[in-house]
Structure formats: C-alpha cells, structure tokens
Amino acid sequence: MDYPATPQPIATDALNGQGASASPAASWSGSQPRERRRHAKAIAAITLGNGLEFFDFTIYSFFATIIGKLYFPVEGQLAQLMLAVGTFGVGFIMRPVGGIVLGAYADRAGRKAAMSVTLWLMTLGSAMIAFAPTYAAIGMAAPLLVILARLIQGFALGGEIGASTSLLLEYGSNRTRGFYGSWQFVSQGLNTVCGSLLGVALAAALSNSALESWGWRVPFVIGMAMGPIGIYIRRHLDETLPGVEDGHAPQPTDAAAGTAVAVAVAQPVRKLFREHSRVIATGVVTTIGGTAANYIVLFYLSTYAIRILHLPMSSALWAAWTAAVVTVICSPFAGALSDRVGRKRVLWVSRVLLIAAVYPAFSIINAAPTVPALLSVVAGLAVLVAFTAVPNIVMLPELFPREIRATGMSIVYCLGVSIFGGFAQFFATWLIQVSGSNLAPAWYLIACGVVSLIPLPFMVETAGRDIG
C-alpha cells in the first residue's frame, strides 16, 4: 500500500507568498513505520472528534419517543412521534447554511480552525437540550428551545462534514483516499454504537418514570462534556490547507473584520457555483439514496421497532447498535475496495442490491416481529449501506479542487442529507399514517435509491486520480 507523507508545517515565508507551502503528499520525512503511526494517530483524532459531534446530534433519535411525549403533548402516540422526528429533521435545515459558512471558513482559515468552531457549537446545542424544561414546566417555550438547539447543532454539523472529510482525504494518496475517507463513516457508526449502548444501559437500569424524568438527559450531558476533549485532541493535527499555519489564515489589514469575514465566505462560494454547478447538482442527487438508507437503517428502525412492531425499548435499541457495529466493520473494506475497483462501480452494485433487498427486509420483520429477526435484517441492510455510503462520501470532495473542497463537499452533502436524510424518519412515519401500511418506509427507500442512480453514469471516476 502506498503511504503518503504526513503533512508538514507550513513555512512562515509561505504565509507572505514567498515560499511553497507543504502538502500532505510531501516527501518522506522518516521511516515508513513512523509515517504509518503518525497517520494512524491523525485518523484517530479526526474520527474521534467527528464521532463526538455525531453523537451529540444523533442521540436525539434514540430518545425521540420520550422527547415527543415531554415536549410535544399532542393526542396520539404516532402524532407525538411525527413531531419528535420532525424536530430531528429540523436540525438538517441549517446544514446547508452551516456548510456554506463554515465550509468557506475551512477553505480560508484551515480545516482545524473550522472543526474547532463546529465542536463548540455542537456542545452548546447539547447543553440546551440537556437542561431544557419540559412543556409541562414552561409551555410552548419548551419545544421552541429544543428546536433552537437542533438548529444550532445542524449548523455546526453542516460545517464539520466538509472540513473533516477533506482533511481525511488530504492525508491520503491517490491509492489510499478511499480507505482514509471511509473513516468519516466509521466515526458516524462509532457514535451510534456508543449512543445505542448508552440508551440500552439506561433503559435497562432505570424505571420508565426515571427514564422519562431525568435519564434521557444523561447522554446529552455526556456529549456536552466531551466537546472540549475533542477540541483538545484536534489541536495536535497537522493543517493540510496551503498558506495556513496552526489553523490560522493570514489576516487582512486593510478591511474591517466584518467585511473580511464576508469576503472569506463569499469567495469560495462564488467560485463554487460559477464553475462547478453541474457537479453540485449531480452530487446532490447521487447522495439522496445513500443518506436515506443510512438514516432509516441506523436510526429509524429502532424507533420503528418500538412504535410499529411494539418491541421493548431496551431490545429495539440493539437494532441501532447492530447496524452501527456492522457499518464500522465494513466501512474500511468498502473504502479500500473503492480504491482498487473504483468508486462508481462499488456504489452502483451495492445500491442496486440495497434497492432489491429493502422491501423483503421490511416484509420479514413485519411477518416475524421478533428481536432476532429484526437484528438479522438490520445487519444485512447495514452491510449494503456501508458499501453504498462510503464511496459516495469519498467521491464528493474529490470532485472539487483543494481551495474550495470543504465548501463544495459541505454544500453537496448537506443539501442531499437535509431533506432526504434528515426528514427520512418523518417521511417514513407519515407514509405509514397516510397509507396504513407498515411497509411504506421501504417504498421511500426504493424511490430515493432509484433516483440517486440516474446521474452516476455521467460522473467522473475519481479513484486513482490526482485531485491536488
């Protein structure tokens, strides 16, 4: 396997335009084993920090049924669930905005600086949810507070995905980018493993009254406390954006601070839409299929098992744990395979198989609503989700040049995820209500999968190609 050199610090002269900046694919500075260890540490730091953010964001899904009862007191359990998962989706509305603002910041001030901002914002959102009074205590202000927290978290995660994925890829070479980039999806799976295990432990250890009273707040408190740890870990990463040292971009001296920030955001965004509008459109459509499957299989099926299949919460949460473990195991293999045979081929085959498997999978768990059947179905679907999501998430930033890569990745991914991923649980629940069929979520996944395959033949194969 070809291992590139670790990014070297940028020389001070480079900041003044007098020298060449270092690159993550620079010449070897030490032995191969030492470079492997340094790269492993970098991947671990990026993955851990990214996982902490996704933990804060997605733990909400595991306690959606309780949050719906405490903050959205409408008649009917299904209506409560729709409002709760709808609020989960609200966080995705701000993802494109965060992708534009924080993605552009990452392309100007550096990947490290942007990722620190996103972690602080995510920590703030978790704190707001952790200590939010319920509807019984403060009335309508309670759901509004939760919605505001979700908007802040969505804004943060919109910027995180572009910066962290770009950083992972820029540590890799033409032969290893798929493997390196796969750790973005590994980090998302790890957060789900931790979140579901914590949910199972709380559901098993606490009574229903204790869980609804204070137990559900524990994961948000933990997520809030872990934010500063992630920021500290990321401080020791090497910056990969040329012209940036220690995560700080050169500061202009002839403009006001507000104007400088506006220009920093506007320049990469303007260039992105002027020169890469077709790539943005095809990337968004391609993302729809993978993100819908990801959020249904990893997050919604546990809620589905509780409300639709009437399984105990402690048992149903094992579905999320199983899906997460499978994706964590399979994702590096999916990334490495895409390095060998190409992103498009792996994505195409796995997505077609996923489309074919979804309806039978939902039929099985409805015909035999037991925990073993649920876990078996979830494990099988999760394998396909990993092999379709990883090449997709790796290919997106590869389509853009380095100077606008984080912005491009953020916008494309967040636009695709915001509606079809973030509101996947809402759409699935709504379709069940209007159709009266428990199999309705399968049709949603099939439709998203078919549409997402349309632009794939027209996209450039990025595996093995120099992306700068």
Domain of residue 401, CATH code? 1.20.1250.20
Closest CA to 62 of 327, 389, 432, 314: 314
Of residues 288 and 27, more confidently modeled:
288
Least confident of 118-132, 248-262, 312-326: 248-262
In a domain, 468, yes or no: no
Which H or E element spans position 461? none
Q: How many CB atoms lie within 10 A of CB 29?
A: 12
Please give the pLDDT value at position 377.
Answer: 93
Q: Which domain holds residue 366?
A: 34-247+262-453
Most confident of 86-100, 372-386, 422-436: 372-386
Give the DSSP per-residue string, 12-33.
Answer: HHHHTTSSPPP-TT----S-HH
Distance CA 14, CA 426 (A): 50
Q: What is the pLDDT of residues 390-425, one digit of tens each?
A: 999 899 889 888 888 888 888 888 888 877 777 777
Residue 61 has pLDDT above 80, yes or no: no
311: confidence class by pLDDT, cuts 50, 70, 90: confident
Residue 464 has pLDDT above 80, yes or no: yes
Please give the pLDDT value at position 86.
Answer: 65
Least confident of 117-131, 194-208, 362-376: 194-208
Distance CA 319, CA 301 (A): 7
How far, in Å, are 101, 105, 183, 262, 264 from residue 256 at the CA level?
A: 18, 17, 39, 10, 12
How far, in Å, are 262, 410, 462 from residue 446 at the CA level?
A: 41, 25, 26
Most confident of 94-98, 113-117, 437-441: 437-441
Token digits for 94? Answer: 């701000």
In a domain, 3, yes or no: no
In a domain, 126, yes or no: yes
Residue 2 has pLDDT above 70, yes or no: no
310-336 average pLDDT score: 86
At 250 the three-state DSSP class reads coil
Average pLDDT over the chain, rounded to an integer: 79
pTM above 0.75, yes or no: no
Please give the pLDDT value at position 365.
Answer: 92
Of residues 227 and 280, more confidently modeled:
280
Please give the pLDDT value at position 447.
Answer: 92
In a domain, 8, yes or no: no
331: confidence class by pLDDT, cuts 50, 70, 90: very high
Residue 306 has pLDDT above 50, yes or no: yes
In a domain, 232, yes or no: yes
In a domain, 107, yes or no: yes
Please give the pLDDT value at position 26.
Answer: 39
Distance CA 87, CA 71 (A): 10
Count how many domains the chain has: 1
Residue 230 has pLDDT above 60, yes or no: yes
Give residue 271's Cα distance to chain centre: 25
In a domain, 399, yes or no: yes
Please give the pLDDT value at position 12.
Answer: 32
In a domain, 110, yes or no: yes
